[in-house]
Structure 1
Amino acid sequence: MMPFVFIHSITAIENDNHQHKTILKKIIFDRNIITVFITHSFHVLFIELANRTYYLGVLREKFIESEHIQTRILSNYQCLSINELMNNTFLNYAFVHHAKYYPYLCQQQKQLKCFYDNRYRCICDVNRFSNCFTFNHTLSYDCQGENICENGDLCFQDNIKCPILSICACPECYYGTKCQFSTRGFVLSLDYILGYHIKPNVLFHRQPF
């Protein structure tokens, strides 16, 4: 799994389009907990892992300022594709025809929390109604054309509109802030030898090597 997650916040606005903001959070080595500070109001949080796998993290009607929220990624909170929920007969219908069956998905599958298609993300509320809204599934990962990553790696930013941090997703055998180092071949540099084992924010004498 890639060492970062995307936090998608959705804010519902009465008589207007919803707001969608995305935050990128890197997972610290040897940790399974992340902390996210969100200053804007929101009603829904989706957590996106590698391979565009989505989970419903938070769902609420009202935003509470200075609230401390704890949530976990649970398998039964995964948002499923309609390709997994509908048979080919329904999927072959025109979009306007098969979309009208979306409310039945929440009513028939009591454990379903959310689902999506190429245009929309839908949530099953407490009354088992489906609430759908547009959701961009085709975000490009090139830091808006300013890719600083080497070796053809993907570049991610912590915020789409006002980014302050860029992170490179290094493939196997590459590491470094720009994926500039490689463990391929025979080398004697400690950077290469210990690169995968160095824990951040840990004193040298407490490192695991």
Structure 2
Amino acid sequence: MNGFGALRSLCKPNYRGLLVGNELPDCICSFNMFGEQCNIEYDRCSSNPCQNNGSCYPVARPDSFVCTCTEEYYGHCWELEKPDINLYINRSVNHIAAVIQYFDIDFISLDLILVHQQVYRILPKLIEYRHKRKTIPEIILVKLYSSQVELPLQFYLISVHINVTSIYATIQVNEKNRCINIRTLMTDNSTQWISNYSPIKYHHLCRNNTDLFCFQDDFYLCICNENHRGVEYFRYDSKHDQCSYCLAGGRCLKGDRDKPTDFLCLCPSCHSGADCQFTSNSFAFTLDQLFFVDLTSINLKRTVFLLIIISVLLFAIALLNNICSFAKFRHQKCLCNGVGQYLFCMSIINQICISFFVVRLIHLGLTVYGLHSHPMSDSILRKVFGYSLKCSIRIKLITND
């Protein structure tokens, strides 16, 4: 119905019924428009209720809106600034992976409650973390993993702050703030004694070792007092960063617990890949393994470009050579002897083999570069191209024999 409702409204006559009068149509108003004729405009965001340069978005209800802002703020109108942690780390310890854990202290049960954790290949020089709380986590731990399995996991206590809103500091990761395992503080004859030892008796370790800052056992994280007359111990679960997403027995390290894809795999020897899915055992390797290091480097764009260019050149040269061979040896005189028949068949087999090889290289480059990233189709194409390439190579080898 035209002429009754406002612009962009939808009105239907004779819809209200006789009791309210058929002469009044029922209208569906456009966004931010209200009233029987949709002529009242009300935009909750016109007053810009979002603070700190936040963006306001109205919703269906007249009195409601949604704010979006940067990660530094939170709240309904993004009026609250998140407490932040900024730690500049001077690291001097060799490692292949690092996990940073943020804990709150339950002062009743003395448990360490994991608030957040981050996983890295290399411990960054700057740690930044913001959260929607009034105070920062009381304890921050760094766990460093070594490439040598026989070396123990290294714990470092880099922050202990109670009721603090923000941290800006420079931290050293070295032996001074390392939380060593309690077994290294005991002699070999004390192993059985440690298994039955109570944390209440840990006080003498701090008294006898004035350079000791913290230590840990299988269940507790212990921190020496400033005067080394006692120890504060907290129940600690060392498996917070463990997961089971890696293949081939690789060690899985979990990052953010709210992100299923945030994990890191430490692969055993002769294995590589994000999930340890590639193997080089028995002198066998795939194209993914062969180009894995180059395709995961910072020069990814250049590597993919060269990979595609070289593949096209190989295909062009092989195509020209095989066409000439096919045209030459297809004549009846050449096919009268075994050598001519062999060269004629090899021109066809060689072209099929190089075609599958070039297609597999191009598919590998496009997949790693992200131009074709559907997991199901990538898996199917990888298997089809790989199987076809293997078959064509085996046929070529059998023919040569």
Q: TM-score when scaled to structure 2?
A: 0.42
SS in 2 for 1:171: coil
Partner of 2:276: 179
Shift of 1:188: 7.6
> Could you tell me how far apart the structure 2 residues matched to 1:14 and 1:137 are?
19
Partner of 1:159: 256
SS in 1 for 2:203: helix
> Could you tell me how far apart the structure 1 residues matched to 2:170 and 2:294 are?
29
Could you tell me which runs of 5 or more consecutive residues in structure 2 were left unpaired when the two chains were aligned: 1-93, 146-151, 304-401
Where relative contact order (Cα < 8 A, 6+ residues apart) is larger, the structure is 1
Partner of 2:197: 95
Distance of aligned partners of 1:16 and 1:117 in 2 relative to their CA distance in 1, 3 Å threshold: closer
Shift of 1:44: 1.6
Shift of 1:105: 1.5
Partner of 1:33: 125
Is the Cα contact below 8 Å between 1:27 and 1:34 reproduced in 2?
Answer: no
Is the Cα contact below 8 Å between 1:83 and 1:91 reproduced in 2?
Answer: no
SS in 1 for 2:183: helix
> Could you tell me how far apart the structure 1 residues matched to 2:106 and 2:124 are?
33
> Which amino acid letter does the alignment assign opposite residue 197 of structure 2?
F
Partner of 2:211: 111
> Could you tell me how far apart the structure 1 residues matched to 2:290 and 2:243 are?
29
Root-mean-square deviation (Å): 3.3
> Which amino acid letter does the alignment assign opposite residue 143 of structure 2?
E
Partner of 2:185: 85
Shift of 1:131: 0.5
> Which amino acid letter does the alignment assign opposite residue 185 of structure 2?
L
Distance of aligned partners of 1:90 and 1:158 in 2 relative to their CA distance in 1, 3 Å threshold: closer
> Could you tell me how far apart the structure 1 residues matched to 2:191 and 2:272 are?
45
> Which amino acid letter does the alignment assign opposite residue 223 of structure 2?
I
Distance of aligned partners of 1:159 and 1:196 in 2 relative to their CA distance in 1, 3 Å threshold: same
Q: Percent identity?
A: 18
1:8 and 2:109 are equivalent in the alignment: no
Partner of 2:226: 126
Shift of 1:45: 1.4
> Could you tell me how far apart the structure 1 residues matched to 2:104 and 2:157 are?
14
> Which amino acid letter does the alignment assign opposite residue 115 of structure 1?
F
Shift of 1:132: 0.4
> Could you tell me how far apart the structure 2 residues matched to 1:201 and 1:172 are?
24
Distance of aligned partners of 1:25 and 1:200 in 2 relative to their CA distance in 1, 3 Å threshold: farther
Is the Cα contact below 8 Å between 1:48 and 1:54 reproduced in 2?
Answer: yes
Is the Cα contact below 8 Å between 2:243 and 2:252 reproduced in 1?
Answer: yes
Is the Cα contact below 8 Å between 1:2 and 1:169 reproduced in 2?
Answer: no
Aligned counterpart for 2:142 among listed residues 35, 47, 70: 47
Residues 22-79 of structure 1, C-alpha deviation per residue, up to 9 Å, x if partnerless? 5131225xx86363425262122111122422111112233223x3343231023221
Shift of 1:198: 5.7
> Could you tell me how far apart the structure 2 residues matched to 1:47 and 1:91 are?
29
> Could you tell me how far apart the structure 1 residues matched to 2:207 and 2:232 are?
12
Is the Cα contact below 8 Å between 1:8 and 1:20 reproduced in 2?
Answer: no
Aligned length: 195
